[in-house]
Amino acid sequence: MDVCSNYTAWVLKNPVLAGELEGLSKILALIVPSKLPNSTLFSELFYAFSNTFTLVNSQIILKAHLRSPDRFEDVKYRFQLFFTVVDYMSAFLEIGAEQLKGTRGKWVVITVIQLMKTVWRLLTLFKSKIGLSQTRPVNARAKKAKTFEGPDASDDAFLTLRSGRRIRTIFPGTITLDSRNTSDVSSPTILQGKYAFAEILDALRPMIHLSSASYFGLNSWIPWLISLLIDSASLLTYSDIKGLQPSDRSELFRRRVSLLLYLFRSPLYNRFTKDQIFAFLLFLSKTVPLARFVCLPLLQYIPIYQNLYFYTW
């Protein structure tokens, strides 16, 4: 406990340095794994560590700045943090399980993780009638700070973030928050009727896909089509919803954009889009100046990550 307390005090005292260490960890996550023999596995390990490190630091700062730090004792929020870390580690666990236990071990890990996420989402929906962004991973990095200034504002009450933005530190009358992690700025959207049903469909989709894929095979069109129909039906149901909070609108936008992932999912990818994507990247690498520095690595990594369930599904 002393170690945790000392680290918490250090982060609050040195937020800029902590941010620089976060940036360094992300750079190391890109550079170090490429020098190791099992580069894909170590790349995911460094990725998980880097994001978890950033998440821990952001939660320390948020807890110190929030008016009501009791939210961090909330069971739902703790589960949300837990599943955020699971989300960071899922690809690493998938690769590690396959290397240790083969294909069977890989699919056991995938099924367990997806089952836990599904149960968590359904319990949250049935218990509190909320969904959408409320069960998404916690935003690890403060993208947009909101500053609430008191009358006692002074120049020495500011610190400069790694982004260059100056925000208030912990002084009387001052609170600095991440707009997506502020409990008292907006309340979550209540889902009822057809919208609750749409969220149930979205929550069940991973397990439905896994079940149909285990029966028909991953290269069958049936699991692919079932999954696409569920996603499309869920999004179509939400098309006329009103009064969404900004975070929920962002979540719906993310889901719409994620439909593009179906281009990278088998069997469509193996039979149609693979050749088109590779031809397009090769064309760009040969015709657009400097594009080869982006396109050629993509040509190398797409086949690797396309085979990872947690990157495509």
Question: Which pLDDT score, from 0 to 100, does residue 34 have?
Answer: 67
| Lowest-confidence segment of 93-102, 147-156, 188-197 by average pLDDT | 147-156
pLDDT at 19 exceeding the cut of 60: yes
Percent of the chain with pLDDT over 90: 44
Residue 154 has pLDDT above 50, yes or no: no
CA distance 35 to 44: 14
Query: Tokens at residue 222, please?
Result: 């049936």
Given a cut of 70, whether residue 184 has pLDDT beyond it is no
* Dihedral class, residue 17 (left if φ above 0, else alpha if ψ from -120 to 50, else beta): alpha
Find how far residue 54's CA is from the centre of its chain. Answer: 13
- Most confident listed range (23-27, 73-77, 151-155, 184-188): 23-27
**Measured distance CA(26)–CA(28) in Å, rounded:** 5
Model pLDDT, residue 277? 93
Q: What's the CA gap between 313 and 106, in Å, rounded?
A: 14
Decide if pLDDT at 76 tops 90: no
Residue 145 phi/psi, 5-degree rounding, is: -85, 140
What residues contact residue 150 under an 8 Å CB cut-off, 6+ apart?
171, 172, 173, 174
Least trusted range by pLDDT, from 33-37, 124-128, 192-196, 278-282: 33-37
Instruction: Judge whether residue 52 has pLDDT over 60.
Output: yes
Please report the sign of the dihedral spanned by the C-alpha atoms of residue 39, residue 41, residue 44, residue 50: negative
C-alpha 212/C-alpha 190 separation (Å) is 31
Q: Select the more confidently predicted residue: 135 or 295.
A: 295
Inform me whether the pLDDT recorded for 123 exceeds 50.
Answer: yes
Whole-number pLDDT of residue 301: 85
Which sequence spans correspond to the domains of the chain?
145-178
Question: Is pLDDT above 60 for 167?
Answer: no
Q: What would the mean pLDDT of 205-209 be, rounded to a whole number?
A: 97
Which residue type, as a one-letter code, is found at position 119?
A: V
Q: How far apart are CA 41 and CA 96, in angstroms?
A: 7
- What pLDDT, in 10s, does the model give residues 227-275? 999 999 999 999 998 888 888 888 999 999 999 999 999 999 999 999 9
Highest mean pLDDT out of 22-26, 81-85, 165-169: 81-85
* Stretch 84-102: mean pLDDT: 95
Please check whether residue 278 is in contact with residue 296, taking contact to mean a CB–CB distance below 8 angstroms.
no
Q: Looking at residues 96-120, what average pLDDT do you find?
A: 96
Residue 98 pLDDT greater than 90, yes or no: yes
Residue 117 has pLDDT above 90, yes or no: yes
